[in-house]
Amino acid sequence: MEKGIIIILMLISGVFTLNGQVNSVQAKINAIQSDNYMKNASIGFYAVNIATGEEIAKLNENTSLTPASIMKLFTTSTAFQTLGAGHRIKTELLHDGVVDSNGVLHGNIYIKGYGDPTWGSRFFTKEGHELDFLKTWVDSIKAFGIKEIDGYVIADGSYYSYDGVPGGWNWTDMGNYYGAGPAGLNIFDNMVYLHFATGAKSGDSTVLHCIEPHIPNLEYRNEVLTSDKKGDNSYVFGGPFSLDRFVVGTLPRNEEDFKVKGSIPDPEDFFGYAFTNALEENGVQVKYCHQTMRKLQLTKAEKDSLKLKEIHTFRGEKLYKIINEINHRSVNLFAECLLNYLGAQKYGTGNAWNGTAAVEKYWSARNNMTGFYMNDGSGLSRTNAVSAKHFVDMLKYMSTQKTFESFENSLAQTGKRGTIRSMCANGAGYQRVYGKSGSMNRVRSYAGYVYSKTGKKIAFTIMFNNFNCSSTQVKRMCEGLFNVMASY
């Protein structure tokens, strides 16, 4: 009797077919689990028919695993739901003085940031035009009647905490472009280019001949060597606010100008410096050098007592455009800025603690979030731990919401766009899978939707931790899984 009940339950769940065979998707994930390369791995998989709620296949679906970059799906879905696709983050130009009849401002200019990550971003600006927005800002100063500033330019990014980066990030990531931390004022993707010339043979030293843009007092100790290996195998080391950094690793030989991307140590400070330069280059003299709110260390009461007057309020790119870049290109900085922004909107100050609390609060009201551990917005932290079911429950919910079209359009697509564009080129999954990929050392993950050839819409998530093969081999396994789901 009990055996019969179990079989009926399995038939209802869809894991077994009427003839007692495991369905094709379950068979595929079982085969992946049995692969010798997965002997020491932890795998989480869950796939559900959205229309019927049928569990198509599952494996350790409730086990919390390190998700890598698919963590961005929780950040971006929450942002869509709570802010709206058309939301634009503001940045204010303010002053605290009086403008006399000669156009002299007796007081200070404030750049009040609210965490917009798009100013001068390479994702929204043509190469060579990164500084154009600063000229527009200078024009707004002139239009206000200011010809000279008898005071400071004060960069105020205090809407976000001065934590630099979220907890759990590795020291090896922070100095590199993908480890650039979020700030209340962000500029140029918080990124610098290090220009190297390499030697003629392996083992030769390299020359760091230029840093772009120029950041005062920023110094790098160059320990990079020439190698026969192709590509960028260098790493930049340096924590938030630290101007003393070093670069190690290798670069290919016979390169005259090889660009390595690093992080800006103090975006708030550099924003103030860049705007002060733009003012002076365009005829507006500034009496003193720039300052930052972090260095001034004003108390909240002192900041609240400032009688600031608006010069102009600028609005950044629409939220859906930012999220498109996050989910298509996996831009860590944008994801962390959104997480901080969610925290600030909910709790008053932007930081990873408040941001993750805002995300967890939103989803706990809708799904069972037991075992959900979120420590950053991008997935760069290895201390994140989320189950495949957490992701699928969120994906199912999003498919019923007004923001779903924007959310789905932000995802990469096999054969078409983003980080999964090259997958399933000759298979059933070609252009049928919309999702986000994630990868870091010994971690590979995918989450999203499959539109099967039989008309089913499937929400799925698969995560691998600690496999014994290359990430490329895991990617091929997932391609096979995508093709099977697309044929289901």
Q: What CATH number corresponds to the domain at position 163?
A: 3.50.80.20
Quick one: 347 and 390 in the same domain? yes
What tokens were used for 231? 């590509």
Structural domain of 254: 88-317
Quick one: 273 and 356 in the same domain? no
Q: Answer with the one of 317, 349, 368 that is the final residue of a domain.
A: 317
pLDDT at residue 299, as a whole number? 77
Say how far apart CA 65 and CA 60 lie, in whole Å.
Answer: 10
Q: CATH number, domain at 393? A: 3.40.710.10
Question: What are the distances in angstroms from CA 213 to CA 190, 197, 208, 264, 266?
Answer: 11, 18, 14, 10, 13
Domains held by the chain: number: 2
Strands 55-59 and 233-237: unpaired
Which pTM was predicted?
0.94
Quick one: 341 and 362 in the same domain? yes
Q: Answer with the one of 317, 351, 372 that is the final residue of a domain.
A: 317
Strand-pair partners of 447: 436, 461
pLDDT at residue 21, as a whole number? 59
Say how far apart CA 242 and CA 219 lie, in whole Å.
Answer: 10
Quick one: 184 and 243 in the same domain? yes
Say how far apart CA 203 and CA 275 lie, in whole Å.
Answer: 41
Quick one: 161 and 225 in the same domain? yes
Quick one: 309 and 329 in the same domain? no
pLDDT at residue 15, as a whole number? 52
Q: Find all residues with CB under 8 Å of 2, minimum gap 6, and list them.
A: none
Q: Tens-digit pLDDT profile for the chain (488 aa)?
A: 444 444 444 444 445 554 445 799 999 999 999 999 999 999 999 999 999 999 999 999 999 999 999 999 999 999 999 999 999 999 999 999 999 999 999 999 999 999 999 999 999 999 889 889 999 999 999 999 999 999 999 999 999 999 999 988 999 999 999 999 999 999 999 999 999 999 999 999 999 999 999 999 999 999 999 999 999 999 999 999 999 999 999 999 999 999 999 999 999 999 999 999 999 999 999 999 899 999 998 777 777 778 899 999 999 999 999 999 999 999 999 999 999 999 999 999 999 999 999 999 999 999 999 999 999 999 999 999 999 999 999 999 999 999 999 999 999 999 999 999 999 999 999 999 999 999 999 999 999 999 999 999 999 999 999 999 999 999 999 999 999 999 99
User: Between the CA atoms of 475, 480, 486 and 488, what dihedral angle is there, to the nearest 10 degrees?
Assistant: -140
Question: What are the distances in angstroms from CA 337 to CA 175, 183, 186, 426?
Answer: 17, 7, 9, 37
Quick one: 200 and 229 in the same domain? yes
Say how far apart CA 291 and CA 461 lie, in whole Å.
Answer: 47
Give me the sign of the Cα torsion angle 152, 158, 162, 164.
negative
Quick one: 243 and 347 in the same domain? no
Burial, 208: exposed, middle or buried (Cβ in 10 Å; 0-12, 13-18, 19+)? middle
Quick one: 154 and 247 in the same domain? yes
Strand-pair partners of 312: 93
Q: Answer with the one of 260, 286, 317 that is the final residue of a domain.
A: 317
What tokens were used for 246? 């070093």
Quick one: 192 and 59 in the same domain? no
